[in-house]
Amino acid sequence: MVRRCFNHDYRDPFFYMVTITTHQRRPWFGICENNACALSADGLLVRDLWHRIPRDYPQIELSTFCLMPDHLHGLVRVTERMEKPVGVPLRAFKSQCTRALRESHGGDALTLWNPGYNDRVVWRRGSLRAYTRYILDNPRRYCLRKANPDLFRTVTGLQHPALPPGLSWDGYGNRFLLDRPEKLAVRVSRKATAGEIAALREETLAEAAQGTVIVSPFISSGERDIATAILDAPAGDVILLKPDGFPPLFKPKGRYFDLCVQGRLLILSRSAVAVYGDTPLTRETCLALNAACAHLAEALTTEDTP
């Protein structure tokens, strides 16, 4: 999926987090092992062309960069307003790479990249640090995904007796968490006091330590507080209900990624959701998510049925 911030002028000075993927995710650029990417000759060529971008476009500075077997991430800074959007030098870079690889491999029909690219405008300084960590951690996450493929793919039309009936669901992560007989739906009112949240947090952690799967959309601040506590705990499994679907190339962010690697996470979302991240989080949506959590916590699984 090509992401754009449609109300933003891409000629303006900003940091941009850019992701470009190869056609059909072919691993042109090297191999990943031992949490590092060893670049191929094609990868070295692409890396060199990336670092030449400021030579042709002096308004651009390059920051953190990571080239993976089938994609790249880079932080690009526009230092002064450009005559044309930042997409122009990025398209030029892609064309230069394609031309160079066609010359190297002797094939004019070679297709190197997927169309377009993904970008995120970095609005806050804290976001810049987060994106830097994300890029530098990419080889480790890539190796983990390859070592645990079943935990890192979206299953559409997920079927399971514990799921709310009459609805179609998609899932990402450890689907076997649905089989677990003990599940606890966590719902925290926005009016809850700090003391009430602390008490529920301790109760939830105790349940999780005993093997109960915690089910929640983790939307309210109290729910997010409990989610953080579970992420920090050495044990505890989570079913997270996501309101806005799974975009192509989806994967969990931050500490949820490591939870997924450990087999401790399942993310569920309604299959009918088609707009990723842009759907307003209405009261009706929150109520529907909480109702689904309650059903999951109360539902019998095939193992429970006499």
pLDDT in tens, 15-69: 999 999 999 889 999 999 999 999 999 999 999 999 999 999 999 999 999 999 9
pLDDT surpasses 50 at 217: yes
CA distances from 290 to 81, 247, 274, 294 (A): 46, 22, 20, 6
Q: Give me the pLDDT at residue 235, please.
A: 82
- pLDDT exceeds cutoff 50 at 1: no
CATH homologous superfamily of 15-146 equals Transposase IS200-like (3.30.70.1290)
> Residue ranges of the domains in the chain?
15-146, 150-298
Residue 33 or 273, more confident? 33
Share of the chain above pLDDT 70, in %: 93
> DSSP 3-state assignment of 111?
coil
What's the confidence (pLDDT) of residue 303?
36
Average pLDDT over residues 267-285: 75
Give the mean pLDDT of the chain. 89
pLDDT higher than threshold 50 for residue 305: no
- Rounded mean pLDDT of 227-247? 92
Is 150-298 assigned to CATH 3.40.50.300? no
**DSSP one-letter code for 60:** E
Q: With cut-offs at 50, 70 and 90, classify the pLDDT of residue 306.
A: very low
Q: What percent of the chain has pLDDT over 90?
A: 66
Over residues 107-159, the pLDDT tens digits come to 888 999 999 998 889 887 778 988 898 899 999 988 988 888 888 889 999 99
The H or E element that residue 33 is part of is: strand 30-33
Kindly state the DSSP code that residue 296 receives in the 8-state scheme: H
Return the ∠ at Cα 9 (arms to 7 and 13), rounded to 5°. Answer: 130
Report pTM: 0.64
